[in-house]
């Protein structure tokens, strides 16, 4: 199973992870990315992700690739778009597998690849006087 969603609103980590159970699954690894309050020494007010179809397609492809590249059962990626504030969840990557190492490896690979996509996609805004 593969799930990929672009979300305008908050999402339930528990609900998504709960849908990943199967008799052959021995591990579910999840990563939740949140908007942090500082970046490169500046105070962040928020970050915005628009509906950039190229960036969205690149993230969607990561889920497809993970299923082929790793011995995993399920992968779920949820990425928020719109204006997000410090502390908001912006990303969920969840991977299930028979064994934990495959789940960790796939999750880390996806995280590293999404970070590359974020470099040109997310637009941080800073608090007054922080720039």
What is the number of alpha carbons within 13 Å of residue 43 lying toward its C-beta?
A: 4
What gap in Å lies between CA 92 and CA 112, rounded to an integer? 13
pLDDT in tens, 5-45: 999 999 999 999 999 989 999 999 999 999 999 998 999 99
> Average pLDDT for residues 50-72, to the nearest whole number?
94
Q: Is residue 112 part of a domain?
A: yes
Structural domains of the chain, count: 1
Q: Is residue 131 part of a domain?
A: no
Residue 99: which CATH number?
3.90.1170.40
Which pTM value belongs to this model?
A: 0.92
Q: Which residues constitute the domain of residue 32?
A: 2-126
74: β partners: 96
């Amino acid at each position: 199973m593969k799930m990929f969603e672009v979300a305008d609103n908050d999402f339930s980590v528990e609900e998504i992870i709960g849908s990943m159970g199967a008799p052959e699954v021995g591990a579910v690894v999840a990563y939740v990315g949140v908007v942090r309050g500082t970046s490169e020494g500046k105070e962040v007010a928020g970050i915005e992700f628009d509906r950039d179809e190229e960036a969205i397609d690149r993230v969607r492809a990561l889920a497809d690739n993970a299923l082929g590249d790793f011995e995993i059962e399920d992968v779920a990626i949820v990425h928020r778009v719109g204006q997000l504030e410090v502390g908001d969840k912006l990303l969920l990557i969840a991977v299930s597998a028979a064994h934990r190492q495959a789940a960790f490896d796939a999750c880390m690979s996806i995280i590293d690849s999404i970070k590359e996509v974020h470099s040109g996609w997310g637009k941080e805004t800073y608090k007054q006087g922080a720039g």
